Amino acid sequence: MFLKYGSEELDHHSNWHLFSDHAPLTVTIPIIKEHIQNKKWSIVKGSKKKKFFINNLINEIKAIDTNNLTNVKLLEKVINLLATTIEEIWDKNLKLSTSLYIQRASRI
């Protein structure tokens, strides 16, 4: 621990150890208010976009042809196609929501 010679902290610190040969290390960190804007992409619960997303997803899953899945490569192809389709449907229905809140943050 380093303290400036002759500082008040040194004077007070020597009494903190009480009966121990160790003293607690203390640091004072000033706290400031910080405005943080939170952005999140989502589909709004109960919205028309959510219903469209679910219906579109159901239709795409129903349309998957699983009759010719005779090997692992064909299965992987179908899975990748499904993943791409889900991502495209998701992207079409996203909404950016932002919120601003005040958080106490430390400045070091």
Give the CATH number of the domain where residue 57 resides: 3.30.70
Residue 72 has pLDDT above 80, yes or no: yes
Token couple for 6: 């002759």
> For a pLDDT cut of 70, what percent of the chain falls above it?
68
Q: Phi-psi bin for 101: left (phi > 0), alpha (psi -120 to 50), beta?
A: beta
Task: Decide if pLDDT at 103 tops 60.
Answer: no
pLDDT on residue 76: 93
State yes or no: pLDDT of 74 exceeds 50.
yes
Range of the domain at 83: 33-106
Predicted model pTM: 0.49
**pLDDT tens-digit map of 23-48:** 666 777 777 777 777 788 888 888 88
In a domain, 9, yes or no: no
Own/partner long-range contacts of 43-50 (Cβ < 8 Å, ≥24 apart): 43/90, 43/93, 43/94, 43/95, 44/95, 44/97, 47/95, 49/93, 49/95, 50/93
Dist. CA 96–CA 71, nearest whole Å: 41
pLDDT digits (tens, 9 = 90+) for 79-97: 999 999 999 998 888 888 7
Within a domain: 51:
yes
Q: Report whether pLDDT(100) > 50.
A: yes
pLDDT at 30: 74
Instruction: Look at the chain and report how many structural domains it folds into.
Output: 1
